[in-house]
Amino acid sequence: MWLKIRGCKLSRRATPDRVSGCGIPVATERNGINMRLHFFGATHEVTGSCYYIESSGKKILVDCGMLQGPDEYDEQAMPVNPADVDYVFLTHAHIDHSGRLPLLSKMGFRGTVYCTYATGELCGIMLLDSAHIQEFEAEWKKRKNKRAGEDSAEPLYTTEDAENVLKLFKTYGYANRIQVCEGIDIRFVDAGHLLGSSSIEIWLEEAGITKKLVFSGDIGNLNQPLIRDPSYIAEADYVIMESTYGDRNHNPPPDYALNFAQIIQRTFDRGGNVVIPSFAVGRTQEILYFIRDILNRGLIEGRTEIPVYVDSPLAVKATNIFNENTTGYFDDEALSLVRKGINPISFNGLKISVTSDDSKAINFDPRSKVIVSASGMCEAGRIRHHLKHNLWRQECTVVFVGYQAEGTLGRILKDGVKTVKLFGETISVKAEIVELEGVSAHADKEGLIRWIKAFEKKPGKVFVVHGESSVCDSFASLLRDGFNYSATAPNFESCYDLLADSFVYSGTAPSPKTAQKREDKRGATVYRRLEEAGQRLIGVIKRNRGGANKDIAKFADQINDLCDKWDRN
């Protein structure tokens, strides 16, 4: 969970090198130089990637992802003052890496977001979609709370906030070294995880001292459809690498199309529907690639065409972006189809649902069909409606094709729950629940080891992140004991001094998440809005530096009047 920022006053918890409550240790400069790395997300957990660098007088976030899972919009407090951030370096467009960027802008960020061309295009639809979902859910909660006499609800951010942050994007291709400012260079390297995904090389240089950091981003699996395999990097002083599947290896690559065809065949033979909760960006396009191959090879007995519904406006837009970004991103097999005039992710029988009426009509179609709908972990979106209509039918099949985080509806279904609650109604789970084996956009343990061993010289330190708590620890241990790397799994809020080569602050050790009373959560959410307003005010103050004395004096008087009104101590 994100720790809330409650001002920066000293307390008994503080040390001479740390201001408690802010999450940021006080900078201790060495010969006038300060180079530090803070861990503010995806530490001993899979979502919410966010890291913070101080160097050359600049403040940088690497990713600004959303923590995903139950009540995800209630647990997204920013770990730093957004108005102080100069740059964001973004590895890829998935919401667990990019999802709080509009919140960053809402709270005063006016810097620059650096990413690849395709990541910029995908964020252009994904962040707006995320904002739209939040606005919709907030409106629904407002009506519900009003009837119950409870507090109103507000979205974490709006579509306007998303549009504002998108104006701050600068996009680049792979392999070019980019000077961000004096003393900070970056380069994007294909991570093979998603269209436009990257590992990021960062060079920090100050007073003749240079340190190179590499953030792996999400490392892709080999032989994925459509996109290229991950590229490798030769050298680094420090590596921050993911460990999503750091405790297991994928099975040998199967014939995905054949396995998928068998699932469709037996479901259709029963007269049921195949329901696929799928991430709108990346995984949906892979599923379409497999179905095109199934039809091309005639793997469904007695059928040359099958009805397939893609029920996600976001997935439709993302598919168009995939079709427009083939060169530089697609692998040789997919490019070969494109050169022959064949669209790798289109076929007869493919139907697109955009409006809510289109979506509702799907469940009144009596034919057996394949329904591909977001979200991939079943936490929001139209997939929940399709689950409501199909989970109770034993002739149907729900196919999971991606990672399911702890606590999500997808994980609960995958683990064998017998009933679930959807839209206030208890639904029996009688449908067949299966996982399409081998489909993963993440490298497995073997692939992660292959990636780190590609460095020609062992990095000085490897920080293991982006994995469930036990996986982060076990993979760091494997790197230490099995391959002689200096590796550790940092805690939330920990801070590493790149000059002293040691931790300044060890952070908050992981602990089991406990349920919070509804009343406490509602109070914390409202208080969070107050904190965010305070952070935004600080940013506005800083941007008025150098203004007319008369205007600044008036602004100061207004702030003091407000403080006089609310200072209750």
Q: How many domains does the chain have?
A: 2
Distance CA 439, CA 256 (A): 8
Distance CA 498, CA 547 (A): 37
Is residue 340 predicted with pLDDT exceeding 90? no
Beta carbons within 8 Å of 339's beta carbon, 6+ residues apart? none
Is residue 334 predicted with pLDDT exceeding 50? yes
Is residue 26 predicted with pLDDT exceeding 60? no
Residue 26 resides in a domain: no
Bridge partner residues of 245 (DSSP): 444
Beta carbons within 8 Å of 563's beta carbon, 6+ residues apart? none
**Strands 58-64 and 50-55: what pairing?**
antiparallel
* 213-252 tens-digit pLDDT: 999 999 999 988 899 999 999 999 999 999 999 999 988 7
Is residue 107 predicted with pLDDT exceeding 80? yes
pLDDT for the residue 105 = 94
DSSP character for 84? G
Distance CA 186, CA 177 (A): 6
The answer to whether the beta carbons of residues 193 and 442 sit under 8 Å apart is: yes
Domain that includes residue 415, residue range? 256-435
* 154-181 tens-digit pLDDT: 888 999 999 999 999 999 999 999 999 9
pLDDT for the residue 245 = 93
The answer on 195 and 46 residing in a single domain is yes
pLDDT for the residue 27 = 52
Question: Percentage of the chain with pLDDT > 90?
Answer: 57
Residue 69 resides in a domain: yes
pLDDT for the residue 10 = 28
A 10 A CB-CB count for 205 gives 16
Distance CA 440, CA 245 (A): 10
Is residue 509 predicted with pLDDT exceeding 90? no
Is residue 15 predicted with pLDDT exceeding 50? no
**Locus of tokens 């469709």:** 264
To 10 degrees, what angle do helices 159-166 and 117-148 make?
160
pLDDT for the residue 274 = 97
pLDDT for the residue 72 = 45
Distance CA 119, CA 312 (A): 19
Beta carbons within 8 Å of 222's beta carbon, 6+ residues apart? 192, 229, 230, 253, 443, 447
| pTM for the predicted model, two decimal places | 0.79
The answer to whether the beta carbons of residues 495 and 36 sit under 8 Å apart is: yes
The answer on 326 and 227 residing in a single domain is no
Read off the tokens for 129.
């979609």
More confident residue, 33 or 481: 481
pLDDT for the residue 515 = 33
Q: Report which secondary-structure segment, H or E, holds 446.
A: helix 445-453
Read off the tokens for 180.
């961000």
The answer on 212 and 360 residing in a single domain is no
DSSP per residue, 159-181: HHHHHHHHTTEEEE-TT--EEEE
Mean pLDDT of 428-438: 90
Mean pLDDT of 3-32: 42
CATH code where residue 336 lies: 3.40.50.10890
Q: Considering only 8-22, 36-50, 92-106, 522-536, which range has the smallest mean pLDDT? A: 8-22
Judged on CB neighbours under 10 Å (0-12, 13-18, 19+), 503 is: middle
pLDDT for the residue 5 = 28
Residue 539 resides in a domain: no
Of 379, 403, 435, the last residue of a domain is 435
pLDDT for the residue 53 = 97
pLDDT for the residue 4 = 30
pLDDT for the residue 23 = 52
Judged on CB neighbours under 10 Å (0-12, 13-18, 19+), 561 is: exposed
The answer on 215 and 242 residing in a single domain is yes
More confident residue, 152 or 508: 508
Residue 89 resides in a domain: yes
Per-residue pLDDT band for 276 (boundaries 50, 70, 90) equals: very high
pLDDT for the residue 354 = 84
Helix %, strand %, coil % of the chain (to 5)? 35, 20, 45
Of 384, 419, 435, the last residue of a domain is 435
The answer on 394 and 292 residing in a single domain is yes
Q: What's the chain's length in residues?
A: 569
Among residues 286, 255, 243, 226, the alpha carbon closest in space to that of 446 is found at 243
Q: Which ranges of 341-428 would DSSP assign to H, the alpha helix?
A: 356-362, 383-390, 409-414
DSSP character for 53? E
Residue 234 resides in a domain: yes
Residue 551 resides in a domain: no
* 185-203 tens-digit pLDDT: 999 999 999 999 999 999 9
The answer on 429 and 463 residing in a single domain is no
Is residue 8 predicted with pLDDT exceeding 50? no
The answer on 135 and 262 residing in a single domain is no
pLDDT for the residue 14 = 35
The answer on 77 and 53 residing in a single domain is yes
pLDDT for the residue 528 = 56
**Three-state SS at 213:** strand
For residue 175, CA distances in Å to 172, 202, 212, 215 come to: 9, 12, 16, 15
pLDDT for the residue 523 = 42
The answer on 330 and 218 residing in a single domain is no
Distance CA 279, CA 315 (A): 8
Rg of the chain in Å (alpha carbons): 24
Read off the tokens for 401.
């094709």
pLDDT for the residue 525 = 46
The answer on 135 and 209 residing in a single domain is yes
Is residue 146 predicted with pLDDT exceeding 70? no
The answer to whether the beta carbons of residues 276 and 370 sit under 8 Å apart is: yes
Distance CA 298, CA 291 (A): 10
The answer on 368 and 413 residing in a single domain is yes
Distance CA 188, CA 173 (A): 7
Residue 532 resides in a domain: no
* 37-85 tens-digit pLDDT: 999 999 999 889 999 999 999 999 999 999 876 544 455 667 789 999 9
Distance CA 565, CA 562 (A): 5
Per-residue pLDDT band for 304 (boundaries 50, 70, 90) equals: confident
pLDDT for the residue 518 = 31
Distance CA 213, CA 52 (A): 12
Residue 224 resides in a domain: yes
Of 412, 435, 458, the last residue of a domain is 435
Average pLDDT, the chain: 85
CATH code where residue 155 lies: 3.60.15.10
The answer on 205 and 70 residing in a single domain is yes
Beta carbons within 8 Å of 433's beta carbon, 6+ residues apart? 397, 398, 400, 413, 414, 416
Q: Which residues of 304-327 are buried (b: 16+ CB within 10 A; e: fewer)?
A: eebbbbbbbbbbbbbbebbeebbe
The answer to whether the beta carbons of residues 401 and 295 sit under 8 Å apart is: no
